[in-house]
Structure 1
Amino acid sequence: MTSHPPRTQTLDSADLVIVGAGIVGLAHAVDAVRRGLSVAVVERDERATGASVRNFGHGCFTVQDGDALRYATAARTAWLRLAKEAGFWLRDGGTVVVARAEDEYAVLEEFHAARGDQVVLLDPAEVAARVPTGPGVTGGAWLPMDVRVDPREAAHAIAGWLATRGVRFHWGTMAHTVEPELVRTSRGPIRAGRVVMAVGHDVDRHFPELAEQAAVRRCALHMLRVGDPHGRAVDPAVLTGFSLLRYDGFAACPTLPALRARLEADHPALLAAGLNLMFTQRPDGDLVIGDTHAYAATLDPFNADELDRHVLAETGRLLGVDRLTVRERWRGVYASAGRPFLVATPMSGVRVVSVTSGIGMTTALGLAPEVLDDLLA
């Protein structure tokens, strides 16, 4: 039987205590270790099980804008370095955006004009050479900066690498309260020089007023893993015309409103479900497909099968097949708010950090150094 110290006895002490071992928390641990700080991580589960392992594993750098683009650009370099150090699978194959209508290709042309060599326009034959698709492709674009990882491996590999660098993980430990220089947990108090609360959508469990002020909600995604119907290696991630409505990098394209109006008229149910039709290929060859978006402070616990049917039908059309073999289904949940990032100071020496836009994998490794610059100043 494992013994634990009495709850009145100090469990640990560190220069930086991080609550949450998802990718946002791990990103802060990585940067803190590089600065030579001692780090302790408190995680309520026995391993990361939330949004950090339930996503596409897509470093979707190019289509970001503003602060997100700055963080994403820095994160790309960090991902490449970290994959070598921690020894996890990473593919530097970019993203292909498949256009299946002239208005979709027009947006990509405008995006290319704005971003230059970050966007390579493709004709239908060039799209077909890179990714499998069905009929009706009018062209596309390749975004060479983007990367892919296996999210089921990467977060755990990063945690393992951090442990070899002296980071102490308190798994299966709930953080009850946070005070300046102190985190009280279910296994005892931890003394902290500084604290980062990286608890994602659960910020409302710890700081409800802060969550209300920032209008933090939960976003639920329907995602599936299916067998690859073509048996073909797909190196890039794949986005579609629906994706053009989901990323801020496309927002300045002059023809985007016309595309949105056309998709709303042609596919009202899909737009109402918040479909971002895309897929990535796992190392085992299966495809991760999705996804839909539903928002609430408290999510309905019941999964509507209609959403899965939408994702399967539209992915089948994209791939030019009538049927896909489903291996797994799941619901991802991430924090959502009016702004893409929540960084707040509820008390001295404490930062609450949440990526409130579904791009934690894409931006966290670039966001964390700026947070720590400020926290440690």
Structure 2
Amino acid sequence: MNPRADLVVVGAGIVGLAHAAEAVDRGLRVVVLDRDERAVGASIRNFGHICLTAQHGDALIYGLAARERWLHLAAKAGFWVSEAGTVVAARAPDEVAVLAEFAEQRGDQVRPLDAAGVRAHLPVVSPEVIGGAWLPLDLRVDPREAVAALATWLAGQGVEFRWRTTVTGVESGAVHTTCGTVAADHVVVAVGHDVDRLLPEVADAAGVQRCLLRMMQVSTPDSQTFAPAVLSGLSMLRYAGLNACPSATAVRERLTRADPELLEVAMNLMFTQRPDGDLVIGDTHRYGHTHDPFDDEPTGELVLRETARLLGVDRLEVRARWRGVYAAAEGAEFLHANPFPGVRVVSVTSGIGMTTAFGLAPTVLDSLGAS
């Protein structure tokens, strides 16, 4: 048996790493357990978009705090981060109205753009674009690089990582694994949608499901550089800050009439550019406890078609396709449960873990009294 840990974190995705990083700052001895030999889940299968401006309520508060942590940790751990923000491209008057309302609410966090202003930020964009907005606070990272670099850096700060270690049970003061029991003063369970495997009663009480995403990596038209992340009118229906604007209702009504197939797959049309120059595009959303393993080609083709339309190009060359899966709970952005004394179950149940995890972690550790 190893010496007792101050904190055991179950799960080495971004939510788990955020809690480990916060605990290191508090001088705690930390052990991180993960069933794989590296992070391979939702934390590396995303856009790498720290999309804080479009959030609302607690998510906005956590996102603003997380922004500073991302910048600090990028300098410490040596991974790439972009401060180019986000451009929201509007292709209809009701979308322009949403962005005008949003700018009025948020002040300097939102900079309205006319069509020429959008094109000044984006080298290639559809002639359908009539306006937009720039969200200067948003960040981008390469999740495949950043998550691995964070784990490596944390290990150098004294965090003990036990990879290929499956957790079989959790109780106050102890975490049971396939490699033995780890004693701990405090435990954070950060396993995303797999909370239903480890603590099904917690998952059931919170209504946790799996949200299945369809995403792709494609070549960039004419090898152009897209500094900001890019959102669309469909994004206005996905992010709470934008969706709360009165004109978002008109956007939904128009899309319901004109493009119902996009709403049927719950598309959030957006993209980011990887450091290697390719674009990460997506995404669609499907909810359930267990998903069939078969991907239908029409959904993928829909993502390709709509991205090409947003860019104003004829076709995109696909480099890779994948599924993302994250925890989802209707009407809740975060799961924070206390199944046993000294144990917290934490999951971001809204697909914004990269955006909020570093802001959420201090609140969770405060609730544990872990200092």
TM-score by length of 1: 0.97
Determine whether 1:88 maps to 2:79.
yes
Q: Structure 1 47/12 Cα, relative in aligned 2: closer, same or farther at 3 Å?
A: farther
What's the counterpart of residue 153 of structure 1?
145
Find out whether 1:294 has 2:286 as its counterpart: yes
Shift in Å at residue 12 of structure 1? 5.4
In 2, Cα distance between equivalents of 1:257 and 1:207: 38
Report the alpha carbon displacement of residue 58 of structure 1 after superposing the two structures with TM. Answer: 0.1
Return the letter of the residue paired with 2:347: S
Match of 1:63 among 23, 32, 54: 54
1-side partners of 2:178 and 2:128: how far apart?
57
For 2:353 and 2:249, how far apart are their aligned partners in 1? 27
Correspondent of 1:239 among 218, 231, 243: 231
2:22 to 16, 27, 31: 31
Q: Per-residue CA shift, 1:202-229, capped at 9, x if unaligned?
A: 0101111111111100000000000001
| Residue matched to 2:67 | 76
- 1:264 corresponding residue in structure 2: 256
**1:350 aligned partner:** 343
Q: Secondary structure at the match of 1:261?
A: helix
Please report how far the alpha carbon of residue 253 of structure 1 lies from its aligned counterpart in structure 2 after TM superposition. Answer: 1.1
Match of 1:371 among 360, 364, 371: 364
Q: Which runs of 5+ in 1 are unaligned?
A: 1-9
Amino acid at match of 1:212: D
* Structure 2 match to 1:123: 114
Q: Distance in 2 between matches of 1:74 and 1:215?
A: 27
2:202 is the alignment partner of 1:210: yes
Percent identity between the two aligned chains:
61
C-alpha separation in 2, matches of 1:230 and 1:238: 17
Match of 1:112 in 2: 103
CA drift at 1:251: 2.7
Structure 2, unpaired ranges of 5+: none
1:134 CA displacement: 1.5
Letter in 2 for 1:25: G
Alpha-carbon distance in structure 2 between the residues aligned to 1:13 and 1:313 = 54
The corresponding residue for 1:280 is: 272
* Aligned counterparts of 2:274 and 2:247: Cα–Cα separation in 1: 34
Amino acid at match of 1:88: F
**Deviation (angstroms), 1:155:** 0.5
Task: Give the match for residue 196 of structure 1.
Answer: 188
1:169 paired residue number: 161
SS at match of 1:258: helix
Question: Does the 8 Å contact 1:23/1:52 carry over to 2?
Answer: yes
Moved more, 162-171 or 224-233: 224-233
Question: What is the alpha-carbon distance in structure 1 between the residues aligned to residue 242 and residue 81 of structure 2?
Answer: 26
Q: CA deviation at 1:305?
A: 1.1
Look up the match of 1:361: 354
**Residue correspondence of structure 1 range 129-140 to structure 2 within 5 A:** 129-131=120-122, 132-140=124-132
TM-score (norm 2): 0.98
CA contact (8 A) 1:12 1:189 kept: no
Cα drift, residue 300 of structure 1: 1.4
Question: What is the distance in 1 between the residues matched to 2:46 and 2:33?
Answer: 22
User: How far apart are residue 298 of structure 1 and its match?
Assistant: 0.9
Q: RMSD value over aligned CA atoms?
A: 0.8
| Deviation string, structure 1 residues 106-127 (Cα, Å, up to 9, x no partner) | 1000000111110000111110
1:285, distance to aligned residue in structure 2 (A): 0.4
Partner Cα distance (2:181, 2:3) in 1: 7
Give 1:3's aligned residue: none
Q: Across the two proteins, how many residue pairs are aligned to each other?
A: 368
Aligned residue identity for 1:42: L
Q: Which amino acid aligns with 1:227?
A: S
Partners of 2:198 and 2:36 lie apart in 1 by: 17
Q: What is the aligned counterpart of 2:247 among 255, 269, 275?
A: 255
Q: CA deviation at 1:136?
A: 1.2
